[in-house]
Structure 1
Amino acid sequence: MSLAGLFPIDKWNFKSQSILNNLPEDEFAVLSSHMLEQRYRKGEVVFRKGTVADGIFFIKKGKVKKYQVDRNGKEQIIYVANAGELIGYHAILADERYADSAATLEECVIAFIPREDFKTVLERSGLLAKRLLKALSHEFTVLTNSITVLAQRSVRERLAITLIVLREKFKEETLPGAEIMINISRIDLASMVGTGDENIVRFLTEFKAAGILTSKGRKICIRDVKQLIKLSGCGSTD
């Protein structure tokens, strides 16, 4: 089921998947000249907040969470990046260290592009610069929207929104006609919503009893997207 006209998904998803698409051959050749591809197990750290930004990361397969850790060691997931997206490039553009951390949510294949190669292409490519500026502008809107929701929406509404967004992310790798399964731990889901995992379990049980979803282990299948959108308070009439 498409969310078109029902839920403003663009307010919740970054748009970095098209940044490297169809770049001129010579520019892409520079980017890929020293590209190193690596396989990551689930839960492996890709980079940590405060470390030197030596390059950017292009996710070829899998999903990666970007997160912050507070003084008490509690994790807050900022965003989940899909295959095809770039992460780590903000630090290069700002000439700073990584401002957050990233770790895999599942087995991933990620290509590392050295800082100098990325900057070389950026300096010569008006197309890449234009795409990055557009992506950054959109990400600012997404993050502002997310902060507002955390402050103003209930836990139930935030969970509904998060499940809708995750459904779209897992939909991309699901074969046509197959059930969309959201595969995420309750701890990570709680970190995205900004609440305790006990609240997540309670509301998932409530949603399950209402026929909105089914679950088995980590996996969640949304059965009634329209009802979930209604609970989110972010439908087309919101």
Structure 2
Amino acid sequence: MSLSELFPIDRWNFSTRSILNVLSDEDYSYLISNRSNERYQRGDVIFREGSVPSGIFLITKGRIKKYKVDQDGKEQVIYIANQGELIGYHAILSEERYSDSAAALENCTISFIPKEDFMEVLHRSPLLAQRLLKAMSHEFTVLSNSISVLAHRTAAERLAIALIVLREKFKEEGLQQEVAINISRSDLANIAGIAQENVVRILKEFKSEHILETHGRNISIKDIKLLVKRTNYK
């Protein structure tokens, strides 16, 4: 039984991985002709909220987190992006400063694509514009659901939903082996919107219920049906 039969994962997850697939070979070659590749260590900041964008970022290896920081310095992780996904394009399209920050969740390689090249290809390709519009519309649905979770769900329900989404993010494409979610308890708390001590306590509960196992930073989901049940999703 697939996860989508147990839980409406598409309402909680989005991906920009397929956006560039609509480009012709010529347009894709133009898009990446002036790109530069940068390596980031875990925790390195890629861009900061309030800074002026000069291009977009294509993740070629690793995962990044997008997050906002409140006036007390507390992070709220908004989204985890995988290899093959684009980040930073919202600010370019809106002609505004970055509305959030991005940092490496693990060691990453990221291609920087200048704003001018991105906008030129966007003007050339109506299909790319349509795909971006569709992606941003779906993102709005996902973010609306996330806000609802923070407002109305218990800490255990929030964490269960966060773990289900992360399980999808950490899957290796085409491979069926057990998924190991490699993430700090701090980042997990910032994704679920709960205190770190609550994350540790609830993970112990889930472990005692044979829902998951932990090995250092790694979290392995053993029974996805029980985890879905813990979301109390109706």
Bucket of the pairwise TM-score, normalised by the shorter protein: over 0.9
| SS of aligned partner of 2:220 | strand
How much has 1:195 moved relative to structure 2?
A: 1.1
1:2 paired residue number:
2
| SS of aligned partner of 1:5 | helix
1:105 aligned partner, one-letter code = L
Name the CA distance, whole Å, in 1 between partners of 2:88 and 2:99. Answer: 9
1:180-232 deviation digits (Å, cap 9, x = unpaired)? 10000000000001111000000000000111110011000011100000011
Contact 2:63 2:83 in 1 (8 A): yes
- The answer to whether residue 131 in structure 2 is matched with residue 131 in structure 1 is yes
Aligned length: 234
Contact 1:39 1:107 in 2 (8 A): yes
Name the CA distance, whole Å, in 2 between partners of 1:98 and 1:177. Answer: 37
1:65 paired residue number:
65
1:100-152 deviation digits (Å, cap 9, x = unpaired)? 00001101111111001001111121011000000010000000111011101
| SS of aligned partner of 2:6 | coil
Unaligned runs of 5+ in 2: none
Contact 1:15 1:138 in 2 (8 A): no
2:188 paired residue number:
189
What TM-score does the superposition give when structure 2 sets the normalisation length?
A: 0.97
What is the CA RMSD across the aligned residues, in angstroms? 1.1
- The answer to whether residue 220 in structure 2 is matched with residue 204 in structure 1 is no
2:80 paired residue number:
80
Q: Which shows bigger deviation, 89-98 or 30-39?
A: 30-39
How much has 1:15 moved relative to structure 2?
A: 2.9
1:11 paired residue number:
11
Contact 1:76 1:192 in 2 (8 A): yes
Percent of paired sites with the same residue: 61
How much has 1:26 moved relative to structure 2?
A: 1.8
Name the CA distance, whole Å, in 1 between partners of 2:25 and 2:85. Answer: 19
Unaligned runs of 5+ in 1: none
Name the CA distance, whole Å, in 2 between partners of 1:158 and 1:15. Answer: 20
